[in-house]
Homo-oligomer: A and B are copies of this chain.
């Protein structure tokens, strides 16, 4: 098994090397951004992606939304004995493909095989290294955010969660929903390269838009107001949410982010984003207010409600 696994990595990973114990990289005159995430998504394959693609996109996005340029990825595999080799190979292929697309190199890695029943088919943990220009360091903390700043989203919410749920055998619905799983670094790079002063970015993963907005309000001590009608939600997602009792604002995405920037830059940023495949449906969804730590929603029906931090059980193993 171990030899087979090693061969798959040698064959597919663009560094052309087996996954080595440690890799040596050229430094740059910049800050270093780093991140890690374990992926335990169930099932391994879902419409629009698989655990491998997800592991690359997730780590690329975590780095990119901090303002960094993602450059290197490490990948560690925990494999259940008996995982069909074809599945592993497909997953590794997707990782190599997505890494190439995102322009990152998979440089170091590890594999552990555990007995049957000791893990659920496959878990992948990726970590990433990116370089962050010093004048973008404020992005991850949002410390330059001011009242009146605009909040932009790059597209519809909820797709990833429902694509994964729909792929589970225990669910009785068939969904046409496709995960939005994608690497956002090129989209972000386009905006940053046009000298738009982005004040904050975050990808909308666990806890969805609701969690990110609440974290942002807490970090900055500011308030946020969102217009429900301006948050893109695809029709099948909206329907499934109504049926299943989910709020799309709370569902995890894997290719969505928000950006906060000055009102004046809003048009220019939208223009750039809409020219990218991953930003076609970008829209302004709200703005920063003075009301301390409060995230409110202007509902479609004309009312107003508070968006609370997601609490209690979230959908398990969505990523």
Contact = CB atoms under 8 A, between A and B. Distances in A.
Interface of A: 21-40, 62-63, 65-66, 68, 72, 74-78, 107-115, 117-120, 123, 125, 127, 129, 131-132, 137, 140, 316-317
B28 A24 contact: no
B34 A107 contact: yes
A35 B108 contact: yes
8 contacts: A22-B140, A25-B31, A34-B107, A36-B110, A38-B76, A40-B112, A78-B123, A129-B129
A190 to B, nearest CB: 20
What secondary structure prevails in chain A residues at the interface with B?
strand
Contact of A32 (B26, B65, B111): B26
A38 B32 CA distance: 23
Q: Which of A24, A39, A74: most chain B Cβ within 10 A?
A: A24
Nearest to A27: B32
B132 A24 contact: yes
B108 A36 contact: yes
Contacts of A123: 38, 78, 119, 123
A170 to B, nearest CB: 12
B24 A27 contact: no
Given A62-B21, A76-B125, A117-B117, A112 B38 contact: yes
A29 B33 CA distance: 16
A74 B35 contact: yes
A226 to B, nearest CB: 22
A312 to B, nearest CB: 10
Nearest to A120: B118
A24 B33 contact: yes
Contact of A74 (B27, B34, B40, B107): B34
Closest 6 pairs between A and B when the two form their complex, measured CB to CB: A127-B127, A125-B125, A22-B35, A36-B74, A118-B120, A38-B76
A127 B36 contact: yes
Contacts of A24: 31-33, 66, 68, 132, 137, 140
A23 B35 contact: yes
A125 B32 contact: no
